[in-house]
Amino acid sequence: MNDDDDPSDPHSVGDVLDRLKELGEKAGDGKVRLGDALEAMGHRAYGSFFIILPLIDISPIDGIPGLPTAMAVVMVLLAAQLVLGHDHMRLPSFLEKRGMKGRKLVTVADKMQPTGRRMDKWFHGRLSALTNKPMIRFAGAAIILLCLTVPPLELLPFASTAPMLAILAFGIALLVRDGVLMLIACALALTAVAVGIGLFAAKESGQKTKV
């Protein structure tokens, strides 16, 4: 990732949501594509997208079946580029053309603003050395592993929230260069894996009991 960020790049969760709202307002009834959002986020697009996508899943905005898995696929593609050390994100053209109507994006951004403001109060650049390139690549690998747990967890009510929270923490840490939050994200990742294993064990035990 490039440390020579443009001053106009988003540097907080609030900045990311404001940028999304601007895109939505400009699009109106038209569609805001993922490619448009990617370009708007500048050099900090990695952190921005690892905030936006988990927030959509965690927030009670859309209960579309399969949506968490679809977002996990996109995040795997992005996280792989982190692991490879790419400075700029790229998506396949068919994904870049995906998106949502501008008015709906404005609604989503508005609903997320209170959460975003709280996050900006809590998280800021601390121990920035822990957000250097080796840690960034580690975060990318952790996000990939977390995304792989999403499809099976989606079969259980609210279970995909655990890995999404961990990914969200990694995203904020990458965006605001917060090393303390990076450590918290690592702990959340381990917790998410443990929660997933526990839920599946409980489900399997319940099924055997019924038999």
Asked if the structure places residue 2 within a domain, the reply is no
Asked if the structure places residue 204 within a domain, the reply is yes
Cα 42 versus chain centre, distance: 16
Q: Does the pLDDT of residue 144 top 90, yes or no?
A: yes
Would you say 8 and 42 are in contact if contact means Cβ atoms under 8 Å apart? yes
Asked if the structure places residue 148 within a domain, the reply is yes
Asked if the structure places residue 6 within a domain, the reply is no
Domains held by the chain: number: 1
Would you say 9 and 175 are in contact if contact means Cβ atoms under 8 Å apart? no
More confidently predicted of 75 and 47: 75
Domain extent for 175: 13-210
Asked if the structure places residue 7 within a domain, the reply is no
CA 171 – CA 143 distance, rounded (Å) = 9
Digit-coded pLDDT (tens) for 62-119: 456 677 888 888 899 999 998 998 877 787 777 778 878 888 888 888 888 888 888 8
Residue 31 makes CB contacts below 8 A (sequence gap 6+) with 99, 100, 101, 102
More confidently predicted of 8 and 113: 113
Asked if the structure places residue 4 within a domain, the reply is no
**Which of the residue ranges 145-149, 156-160, 201-205 would you say has the lowest mean pLDDT?**
201-205
Q: Is 193 left (phi over 0), alpha (psi -120 to 50) or beta?
A: alpha
Q: How confident is the model at residue 194 (pLDDT cuts 50, 70, 90)?
A: confident
CA 89 – CA 81 distance, rounded (Å) = 7
Q: Is 10 left (phi over 0), alpha (psi -120 to 50) or beta?
A: beta
Overall pTM surpassing 0.85 (yes/no):
no
Q: Does the pLDDT of residue 24 top 60, yes or no?
A: yes
